[in-house]
Amino acid sequence: MKIAVIGGVAAGMSAASGARRHGKSAEITVLERGSAVSYGACGLPYYAEGRIADWRSLIVHTPETFQRERGVEVRTNAEVVELEHARRRLRLRDGGTASYDKLILCTGAALHPPPPEGVHTLHNPAGAAKLRQRLDDAAPGRAAIVGGGYIGIEAAEVLRARAWRVVIFEQRGDLLGREDSELTRRIGSHLTRCHVDVRLGQAAKSFEADRVNGEPFELVLLAGGLRPNTELAQQAGIALGRTGAIAVSDHMETSTGGIYAAGDCAETTDLVSGAPVWIPLGTTANKMGRVAGACAAGARERFPGVVGTTIARACGLGVAVTGLSPAQAKAHHFRPATVWIKAKDRASYFQGHPTEVQLTADKGTGRLLGASVMGYYGVEGRINTVAAALQARMSLEDFAQLDLAYAPPFSPVWDPLLVAAHQLRKLLH
Amino acid sequence: MKIAVIGGVAAGMSAASGARRHGKSAEITVLERGSAVSYGACGLPYYAEGRIADWRSLIVHTPETFQRERGVEVRTNAEVVELEHARRRLRLRDGGTASYDKLILCTGAALHPPPPEGVHTLHNPAGAAKLRQRLDDAAPGRAAIVGGGYIGIEAAEVLRARAWRVVIFEQRGDLLGREDSELTRRIGSHLTRCHVDVRLGQAAKSFEADRVNGEPFELVLLAGGLRPNTELAQQAGIALGRTGAIAVSDHMETSTGGIYAAGDCAETTDLVSGAPVWIPLGTTANKMGRVAGACAAGARERFPGVVGTTIARACGLGVAVTGLSPAQAKAHHFRPATVWIKAKDRASYFQGHPTEVQLTADKGTGRLLGASVMGYYGVEGRINTVAAALQARMSLEDFAQLDLAYAPPFSPVWDPLLVAAHQLRKLLH
């Protein structure tokens, strides 16, 4: 049995590993159009910053180690340009072909339209290297970031760390794309304190290497406009979902039997709303890839979906969200009640600092719907606790009784999550 | 309506607050035999260490602020010596009486038998103050700690921080009381590296101020032997549970209608095994108290139980457990499979360090049963994520798909929890 994987970053390599785990004798090939595989793309902003000396330290496997340790053939600079499923054959840019019995599409996402010449991105190692070079060579000046999603926010931290003045242009009225004005206000005021100028509702109608909407900048970075790469899939008649990404089953199979899709090119299910979502993230890509690979090799694994957990560091401040924002909850016909609380993240005599927690639940059913956490300590742990509760469809009532770890070096006796839960209960009764 | 609360530390003060919230016009009285109320007892080790200048900074409410802000009468140095439920009357040590319609017992726990003269404890402010004085006055020498539970482990950190050499005597073969030899070995080897001599299976058959089993020490600290204070309850014919603590319903009501119990004197339910447990902890005491107070005031709140989450810092290392250990799982007729894994807690370029995770699940049902986490970062967050999953009776299969937060400053792309889950899945299939 031959399994071919198109794309060799997060989803692709996890797919090949998953396939190998369940298909001991399968012939597995990864076709990657770039020159490197298996790198941690989420580390690229920190490479650009200079925190990592060489971006190649983000590489988890080289084609050689992957071949040796997992028995998977990895071909780089191998761009698939045509998918002839009737013949189970792939045509490559260099004129070669590859055949398969099962195919896994891990074609990722790209900036659509591609940025104008000279505009920086953090989308791939080459882009990050260019930005790094620029930060190393030029004196700090004024930079514009186009996009206020989590990549824009991380990019702002990187540029501030290198002493650039920063303006973020976000065409929507909100940051992080959650239609959450209160979250936006809180992140925005932190960014402002860190001398990042956040311009909401301001689309970058025209931008080039040194100019946004006519305003001059020394550096322009595009941190938005990511779209799933679905050309090959569409060409082969594979159905896209409502989000514009490739539609897949729980087993990561596309509308065409025998062809799977995983990672940034595929959509998944939001476990809170039940609706399809497209949230391109490395961690989800890895999970999807693993399941796609296993299923392509004949196992019956499932990827149920996500609850939309995201975290980013905004000029030192941890900002994390999971589940639905109040506006998103309303759009999905819930009746959300929400609270924001501020509480110490641990005892004062253990460097305790205020942390902010937003918790949202449905008035109709009492079900927990989502959360945001902002702070300097324990942010990821608190959002993960909510993520587990969301995945379990927990009620606010049960959540308020969680048996969370307590000792002064780690947390206050009433964890901020429980403080928020008790506040929110009052709005539900 | 008169509500009396016996005991004014964690459970008692939460009970009074809970009663006030639901009984706006109730006459609420807290009777505390000591001279202070509402202090964070879990901070006492750190006061003894010198990290907190004055133990009174651990006080959350004084009787006066509590009276003023919540309209609750708080009487200190008011020891109840007799409970005459037929007359709804309490007799105090000073000859006075107090009457009630509803009564909440928050009598706590104490060292039984009380320690010999000169032996230190961390059980109350007076004990912690004596230890602090001793550490301030004496040159560091050799100290013996009797008990290898979490208080013994915290005490060892405190004494090492003050440059004492430390020996822990633990009569059982294991630390933290979980019958977990592997967890014990790992904590033990860390303590050994920190120059703490751990003597397992060695009961302190005889100990006094300067001697344990005949061996001389400059300081002896008792960190075990805590028993629930149930004298008043027993005198009034209230049933104790299997654990020796006061048996209560989900509404915290005892076997005698109208009398509630909460905190360290009461038992609760282990939500994983379904069995009664007695785990005296400040955080649980607060939750129980809140529900007891609400129910005494006529509300119908519920405290479902705990999953046994505990955390302690052992010479800088965070050690946390939740749910059942493999041995405990066996004792409750599960068929546990368990793994220990070691993985980075976040990206290397963000001070990532190894963290160790143990995960246990039931071979029969696939249900997640318990976990341990040891490390220097994110320990409380990871154990809390498992605690939420346990409370939701999550399967290992679902747990392995959790949508956990990922960004290099906060975690690796495969969170150590997910690495452990994927390892453990292999043992279940």
- What 8-state DSSP symbol labels residue B123? S
Cis ω for the linkage preceding A113 (within 30 of 0): yes
What is the average per-residue pLDDT within A93-104? 97
**Percent share of chain B, pLDDT over 70:** 100
pTM for this predicted structure = 0.97
Where does residue A390 rank: exposed (0-12), middle (13-18), buried (19+ CB within 10 A)? Answer: buried
Tell me the C-alpha distance between A205 and A223, whole Å: 14
On the question of pLDDT at A429 being above 80, the answer is no
Mutation target to probe the A interface, by most A beta carbons within 10 A, among B270, B379, B395, B403 is B403
Q: Is the pLDDT of residue B238 over 90?
A: yes
* pLDDT of B429 strictly over 80: no
Counted across chains A and B, CB pairs separated by less than 8 A come out at 203
With 80 as the cut, is the pLDDT of residue A373 above it? yes
pLDDT digits (tens, 9 = 90+) for B303-335: 999 999 999 999 999 999 999 999 999 999 999
Per-residue pLDDT band at B64 (split at 50, 70, 90) = very high
The Cα A421–Cα A244 span in angstroms is 36
* Angle of CA points A344, A349, A351, to nearest 5°: 60
> So what's the pLDDT on residue A368?
98
The predicted pLDDT at position A60 comes to 85
What is the model's pLDDT at position A80?
98
B313 contact residues in A (CB cutoff 8 A): 407, 409-410
Which pLDDT does position B79 carry in this prediction?
Answer: 97
User: Does pLDDT of A301 surpass 80?
Assistant: yes
Residues B128-181 have pLDDT tens digits of 999 999 999 999 999 999 999 999 999 999 999 999 999 999 999 999 999 999
Measured between beta carbons, the chain A residues lying within 8 angstroms of B316 are none
Q: Are B130 and B120 in contact (CB under 8 A)?
A: yes
Confidence of residue A61 (pLDDT cuts 50, 70, 90): confident
Instruction: Give pLDDT, residue A37.
Output: 86
Q: Is A161 on the interface with B (CB under 8 A)?
A: no
What residue type is B304 in one-letter code?
Answer: P
Nearest-neighbour CA in chain A from B399: distance (Å):
8
Question: How far apart (Å, rounded) are the C-alpha atoms in residues A47 and B368?
Answer: 38
Name the minimum distance, in Å, from the CA of B282 to any CA of chain A.
Answer: 7
Q: In this model, does residue B109 exceed pLDDT 90?
A: yes
Closest CA to B71 of B79, B63, B80, B60: B63
Three-class HEC string of chain A: CEEEEECCCHHHHHHHHHHHHHCCCCEEEEECCCCCCCECHHHHHHHHHCCCCCHHHHECCCHHHHHHHHCCEEECCCCEEEEEHHHCEEEECCCCEEECCEEEECCCEEECCCCCCCCECCCCHHHHHHHHHHHHHCCCCEEEEECCCHHHHHHHHHHHHCCCEEEEEECCCCCCCCCCHHHHHHHHHHHHHCCEEEEECCCCCCEECCEECCEECCEEEECCCEEECCHHHHHCCCCECCCCCECCCCCCECCCCCEEECHHHECEEECCCCCEECCCCHHHHHHHHHHHHHHHCCCCCCCCCECCCEEEEECCEEEEEEECCHHHHHHCCCCEEEEEEEEECCCHHHCCCEEEEEEEEECCCCEEEEEEEEECCCHHHHHHHHHHHHHCCCEHHHHCCCCCCCCCCCCCCCCHHHHHHHHHHHHHC
Identify the helix (H) or strand (E) that includes residue B38.
none
Residues 6+ apart with CB under 8 A from B251: B260, B291, B292, B295, B300, B301, B302, B303
SS (H, E, C) B360-375: EEECCCCEEEEEEEEE
Whether residue A401 and residue B318 make contact (CB cut-off 8 A), yes or no, is no
pLDDT of residue B39: 83
* DSSP 8-state assignment for residue B320: E
Which residues of chain B neighbour A14 with C-beta distances below 8 Å?
A: none
pLDDT in tens, A163-201: 999 999 999 999 999 999 999 999 999 999 999 999 999
pLDDT digits (tens, 9 = 90+) for B257-293: 999 999 999 999 999 999 999 999 999 999 999 999 9
The partner residue sitting opposite A380, judged by closest CB among B52, B308, B405, is B405
pLDDT of residue B313: 97
pLDDT at A361: 98
The yes-or-no verdict on residue A343 having pLDDT over 80 is: yes
CB atoms < 10 A from the CB of A402, how many? 25
pLDDT of residue A348: 85
* Residue A196, token pair as written in the block: 């990042």
- For residues A108 and A5, is the Cβ–Cβ distance under 8 A? no
Please give the structure tokens belonging to residue B385.
């994520």
pLDDT value of residue B260: 98
Distance of CA B195 to the CA centre of its chain: 26
Report, as an integer, the average pLDDT of B67-76.
95
- List, for residues B356-401, the tens digit of each pLDDT value: 999 999 999 999 999 999 999 999 999 999 999 999 999 999 999 9
What is the arithmetic mean of pLDDT over A238-261? 98
Backbone angles phi, psi at A247, to 5 degrees: -75, 135
- B245 within 8 A of B210, measured Cβ to Cβ: no
Whole-complex ipTM:
0.96
> Region A222-237: what's the mean pLDDT?
96
Across B138-177, b (16+ Cβ under 10 Å) vs e yields eeeebbbbbbbbbbbbbbbbbbbbbebbbbbbbebebbbb
Confidence of residue A39 (pLDDT cuts 50, 70, 90): confident
Distance from CA of B14 to the nearest CA of A (A): 11
Q: Using an 8 Å CB-CB cutoff, list chain B residues near A283.
A: 403-404, 406, 413-415
**Averaged over A406-413, what is the pLDDT?**
95
pLDDT of residue A59: 87
Q: Which residues contact A404 (CB under 8 A, 6 or more apart)?
A: A385, A411, A415, A417, A418, B283, B309, B380, B384, B387
A408–B286: do the CB atoms touch at under 8 Å?
no
